[in-house]
């Protein structure tokens, strides 16, 4: 079935008018939960290099990739290992992935697994460079998110959200050809992201779709189009919870197109504990960056988002416990 394209606002991260940018972000997050971000400081050359490195990894023989099988949420997961739609009877999503955890905390970075240098030379430096560039852009965006919530620009810094950020980077590969089957197959089944925000970069291959009203049946899906050099930003469940559902965590999915696809997703979990960075690699390449709280950060309704007429909808929850449960459900199969 043909779908229409959703019309998303474009936010310029380099703009000197932070109030105007924050107001635009607020409107976008209330109405759709998605927007584009341009002039973010990540060079096109770095995107291209990262997608190339991702393709190199996923092109390795399966036996080599399985030597780096996922432990402590780091390393390789094979096709159909993940099902993002808990209600789906599907055998799993048609993607394989690779996780990299925090880089700058010695107690965490030692858990990372890396492809051998003799097999993939210069692979690790390229991934680390991208990680740090997107982390920087994400932190700047967070200050605008605070303004958009009628908070001080440095609100998340003052509450310790950006202390010792923890990051996970995830590379994802969606095969182009899956063979014939009677079962409906998704690249990524319908889901909302777990954390605070996600920044996704695409190389232009279609497939990403959003459903702006997750309570409506049947669901109406709209295509998210590519803009050269832009991140696609979306709100996650933790931010929706934090804002008492003022900001929307929108359902989205990736549909197979018959083309091989690569994406990159970086997740920053706040206190600001960078939860994970996801790189998804398909012929339609994407780069996503998620910002979410640290394990010890208590996520509870912001005072600017509740009132007597609109009391808090969710009890306080510790970020780490919430995210661990979401991951447990994702990989339960």
Question: Are the beta carbons of 248 and 296 closer than 8 angstroms?
Answer: no
Q: Which two tokens stand for residue 49?
A: 């290099």
- Quickly tell me which residue has 């965590």 as its tokens: 249
Q: What is the model's pLDDT at position 285?
A: 47
Enumerate residue ranges in the chain where pLDDT < 70. Answer: 1-2, 86-90, 160-167, 177-183, 203, 266-293, 331-333
Sketch the domain layout of the chain as residue ranges: 10-330
pLDDT value of position 199: 82
Measured distance CA(269)–CA(24) in Å, rounded: 23
Tens digit of each residue's pLDDT (9 = 90 or more) over 240-279: 999 999 999 999 998 887 777 777 776 655 433 333 333 3
Q: Does domain 10-330 have CATH number 2.60.120.330?
A: yes
Q: Are strands 286-292 and 261-269 parallel, antiparallel or unpaired?
A: parallel
pTM: 0.86
pLDDT at 293: 64
Q: How many CB atoms lie within 10 A of CB 41?
A: 12
The structure tokens 């007597």 sit at: 308
Contact in structure between 289 and 266 (CB atoms under 8 Å): yes
Q: Give the SS3 label for residue 247.
A: coil
């Amino acid at each position: 079935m043909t779908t229409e394209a959703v019309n998303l606002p474009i936010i310029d991260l380099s703009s000197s008018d932070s109030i105007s940018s924050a107001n635009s972000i607020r409107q976008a997050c209330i109405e759709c939960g998605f927007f584009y971000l341009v002039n973010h400081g990540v060079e096109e050359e770095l995107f291209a290099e990262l997608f190339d490195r991702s393709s190199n990894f996923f092109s390795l023989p399966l036996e080599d990739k399985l030597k780096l099988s996922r432990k402590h949420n780091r390393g390789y997961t094979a096709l159909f290992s993940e099902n993002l739609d808990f209600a789906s009877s599907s055998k799993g999503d048609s993607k394989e992935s690779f996780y990299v955890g925090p880089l700058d905390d010695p107690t965490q970075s030692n858990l990372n697994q890396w492809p051998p240098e003799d097999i993939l030379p210069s692979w690790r430096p390229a991934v680390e460079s991208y990680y740090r560039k997107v982390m920087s852009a994400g932190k700047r965006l967070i200050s605008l998110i605070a303004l958009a919530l009628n908070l001080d620009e440095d609100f998340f810094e003052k509450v310790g959200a950006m202390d010792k950020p923890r990051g996970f980077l995830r590379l994802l590969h969606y095969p182009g050809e899956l063979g014939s089957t009677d079962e409906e197959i998704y690249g990524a089944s319908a889901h909302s992201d777990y954390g605070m925000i996600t920044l996704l970069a695409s190389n232009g291959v279609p497939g990403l779709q959003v459903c702006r009203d997750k309570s409506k049946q049947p669901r109406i899906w709209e295509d998210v189009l590519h803009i050269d050099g832009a991140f696609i930003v979306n709100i996650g469940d933790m931010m929706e919870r934090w804002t008492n559902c003022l900001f929307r965590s929108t359902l989205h999915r990736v549909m197979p197109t018959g083309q091989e696809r690569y994406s990159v997703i970086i997740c920053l979990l706040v206190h600001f504990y960078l939860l994970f960075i996801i790189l998804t690699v398909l012929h339609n390449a994407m780069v996503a960056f998620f910002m979410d709280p640290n394990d010890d950060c208590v996520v509870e309704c912001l005072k600017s988002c509740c009132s007597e007429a609109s009391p808090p909808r969710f009890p306080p929850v510790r970020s780490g416990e919430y995210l661990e449960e979401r991951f447990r459900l994702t990989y339960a199969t």
